Amino acid sequence: MLSPNLLAFAVAALLVLLPPAPAVAARPIIAGKPGPSEAAATARWLAAQNTWGVLSTISSDLGGAPFGNVVSYSDGVPGEGRGIPYFYLTTLDPTARDALEDERTSFTLSEFPLGTCGKIDPENPTCAKLTLTGKLKLVDLQSSDADLAKLALFTKHPEMKDWPKNHHFQIFKLEIENLFLIDWFGGPKPISPSEYLKYGRDKGSVKFS
């Protein structure tokens, strides 16, 4: 058995001999989350894993001020996200009314509620965040897009199909024109809407663990 002195020496020697911890040590790699070099994958992961976010419109009630509202969404059935967020909104709520007057909208997601940021602060750049900006469009209920959207929404949000009929919920989708992703130090990652949307298409569908 090692004497306490020898043990202390061995530990000290190990500490000296080990390479210094990398600067990223505070942010362990999370199983399932794409790495910081995979921007489009990370954006799609955020869109696939979250179930709610904040939809911001130009408020007609508040004279053109920005107005963010908590909404549920789905970008596909679980494990088969396509990146386009679908929403189930009623014009009893200001967000849908605003979008029908001025369709410029942004939709914001955070990694923080997924629980994978651990003790990292929600504003720390390594706790990923995504803002999709574009136009919020009403989806024609007779279209095949509407069938896909309903399946996507009602699978992730089962209670939606029982929401009051007389509230006249409608399906909306965001046509993405700009992406703002921060998932590491060094500022937002440049991703085009087409890079984001085509990610994983060659693999059939995007599967995140």
What does the binding site for a second copy look like in residue numbers (CB under 8 A)?
Answer: 51-59, 62, 64-72, 88, 92, 94, 104-110, 112-113, 120-124, 129, 131, 133, 157, 159-160, 178, 180, 187
Are the beta carbons of 184 and 129 closer than 8 angstroms? no
- Return the number of the residue (65 or 141) whose C-beta is nearest a second copy: 65
Q: How far is the CB of 76 from a second copy (least distance, A)?
A: 18
- What is the Cβ-side half-sphere exposure of residue 48, based on CA atoms within 13 angstroms? 25
Work out how close the CB of 28 gets to a second copy at its nearest, in angstroms, rounded to a whole number: 16
Pick the closer one to a second copy by CB: 71 or 200.
71
Nearest to 57 by CA among 108, 90, 130, 106: 106
Of 94 and 193, the one with the shorter C-beta distance to a second copy is 94
- Comparing CB distances to a second copy, the nearer of 42 and 106 is 106
62 contacts: CB under 8 Å, gap ≥ 6 = none
Residue whose token pair is 């007779």: 142
Least separation in angstroms between CB 6 and a second copy: 37
Task: Tell me the C-alpha distance between 40 and 65, whole Å.
Answer: 31
Q: Evaluate whether 48 touches 81 at the Cβ level (below 8 Å).
A: yes
Work out how close the CB of 9 gets to a second copy at its nearest, in angstroms, rounded to a whole number. Answer: 32
Report the alpha-carbon distance of residue 197 to residue 200 in Å, rounded: 8
